[in-house]
Amino acid sequence: MNAESDSRALGAAGDLFELLRLAQGAAQRLANELHGSDFKDAELIARDLRRLRRSADRLQAVVGRFVGRPEESAG
């Protein structure tokens, strides 16, 4: 990867994390307004988004470590 590619990868990982954060918040707010089975559905979506957000956070850290590595010379 080069500097431009590194920057795009870091940006994409950050965008994904932020998108999931916003989606999780929206799902949680929706769950707070619903009752019964609708609440359960919204809460399930919010829980799934929390799980995805944790995965995206780990991916963002991996990308950060990967792009921070010095390139190995060939010889």
Which conformational region is residue 35 in: left (phi greater than 0), alpha (psi within -120 to 50 degrees), or beta? Answer: beta
Q: Is residue 7 domain-resident? A: yes
Is the pLDDT reported for residue 19 higher than 90? Answer: yes
- Residue recorded with tokens 């995206």: 56
Residue 71's pLDDT is 53
Q: Is residue 75 domain-resident? A: no
- Residue recorded with tokens 């990308």: 63
Give the angle subtended at the CA of 34 by the CAs of 31 and 38, to the nearest 5°.
85
Q: Is residue 61 domain-resident? A: yes
Structural domain of 57: 3-65
The total number of structural domains in the chain stands at: 1
Is the pLDDT reported for residue 51 higher than 90? Answer: yes
Cα distances from 4 to residues 7, 10, 12, 16, 58, in angstroms, run 5, 10, 12, 18, 22
Is the pLDDT reported for residue 75 higher than 70? Answer: no
Report H helices in the chain. 3-33, 36-68
Q: What is the mean pLDDT of residues 3-22?
A: 91
